């Protein structure tokens, strides 16, 4: 969805984490997310989105959903064979769909994360990667 739609919920999440850690209402929350290994709201949405794409990469989605995700045509040996074809879109609203946003997120992930052998391993690797980006912000 649009950033403006999620913004009030993100503010509420930050208020809640400040209450949990008994911090000042103006305290920076990034360290609290790192310490608690808690994902920010936008990252929670992305987390669930890439889980669906992971299942699509393993061909474990129902056929009605699997057809939304086309494997990229590989005419010669490429480094990243696990990428999906990104479709062209005309509207901003369509860019929020799983078949568009999810594929962009997936194609942007490291091979360490996408090459996970199980869904459980994938989740752990993905969360670690996101928490690491929080550390870079601090």
Tens-binned pLDDT, residue by residue, of the chain (138 aa): 888 899 999 999 999 999 999 999 999 999 999 999 999 999 999 999 999 999 998 989 998 888 887 765 555 545 555 578 778 888 888 888 888 899 999 989 998 899 999 999 999 999 999 999 999 986
In this predicted structure, what is the pLDDT of residue 83?
75
In this predicted structure, what is the pLDDT of residue 122?
96
| SS3 at position 27 | coil
DSSP labels, 57-93: HTT-S-HHHHTTSPBPP-SS--S-TT-BPPPP-S-TT
Bridge partners, 91 (sequence order): none
């Amino acid at each position: 969805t649009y950033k403006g739609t999620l913004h009030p919920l993100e503010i509420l999440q930050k208020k809640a984490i400040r209450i949990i850690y008994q911090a000042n209402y103006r305290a920076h929350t990034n360290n609290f997310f790192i310490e608690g290994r808690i994902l920010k709201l936008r990252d929670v949405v992305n987390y669930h989105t890439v889980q669906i794409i992971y299942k699509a990469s393993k061909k474990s989605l129902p056929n009605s959903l699997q057809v939304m995700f086309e494997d990229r045509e590989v005419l010669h040996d490429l480094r990243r064979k696990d990428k999906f074809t990104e479709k062209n879109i005309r509207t901003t609203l369509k860019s929020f769909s799983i078949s568009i946003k999810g594929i962009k997120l997936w194609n942007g992930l490291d091979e360490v994360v996408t090459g996970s052998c199980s869904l459980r391993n994938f989740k752990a690797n993905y969360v670690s990667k996101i928490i690491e980006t929080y550390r870079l912000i601090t």
